[in-house]
A and B are shown apart, each in its own frame.
Chain A
Amino acid sequence: GQNIDQPTEMTATEGAIVQINCTYQTSGFNGLFWYQQHAGEAPTFLSYNVLDGLEEKGRFSSFLSRSKGYSYLLLKELQMKDSASYLCAVRNGDYQLIWGAGTKLIIKP
């Protein structure tokens, strides 16, 4: 089968750094996405990785290792508004998007 694994919930402190991991097992790979979803709202696109390495976008960075089936989302200088769920999704060999259940990130002052 195909699956995406992420921690269910994480807690971090305002101003700190947090790393959210995602491991995947899919039939083929054509890219990995990270989305942010605030409670009661729609997911919004954060980042896309298709090659190994780190993609940086402001306070957010995303890393991919295709050989390990692993990605992480790194959030720096955490703000209260970063409290949300973070969804990892992998596009498989058939170009289907497989979604993880998401990681709920709780930011404490």
Chain B
Amino acid sequence: IAGITQAPTSQILAAGRRMTLRCTQDMRHNAMYWYRQDLGLGLRLIHYSNTAGTTGKGEVPDGYSVSRANTDDFPLTLASAVPSQTSVYFCASSETGQNEQFFGPGTRLTVL
């Protein structure tokens, strides 16, 4: 692994289903982030983690949850997907909360 990986690359999901988007980094960065990117809008922060064991809510956290059991992994879970959660999801990490962020390749999620 080099940098940040996300899985799956894309997914079509029925409304009401549960889904976990995976994110793994091998840079030993302390901070990790989940964003969604929708056409015409800027990146919007869903949840973040400044260090393993801690998480925080971003701008649009409703309907999503995260965990940070270790430094490398930061999964994002949609408990019961809705069509408005159709988006491209990016995971990012930074050495600390004050450095530039490095982004994973993204997951394109469609909820029908």
Contact = CB atoms under 8 A, between A and B. Distances in A.
A100 B42 CA distance: 5
B97 A95 contact: yes
Interface residues of B, number: 16
A42 B106 contact: yes
Given A41-B105, A42-B90, A43-B90, A30 B41 contact: no
Contact of B45 (A41, A43, A96): A96
30 contacts: A4-B42, A31-B98, A33-B100, A41-B106, A42-B90, A42-B103, A42-B104, A42-B106, A43-B43, A43-B90, A43-B103, A44-B103, A45-B100, A45-B101, A45-B102, A48-B100, A87-B42, A87-B43, A89-B42, A89-B43, A91-B98, A97-B45, A97-B101, A99-B42, A99-B43, A99-B44, A101-B40, A101-B41, A101-B42, A102-B42
Q: How large is the interface on A (under 10, 10 to 19, 20 to 34, 35 or more residues)?
A: 20 to 34
The B interface, classified by DSSP as helix, strand, loop or mixed, is loop
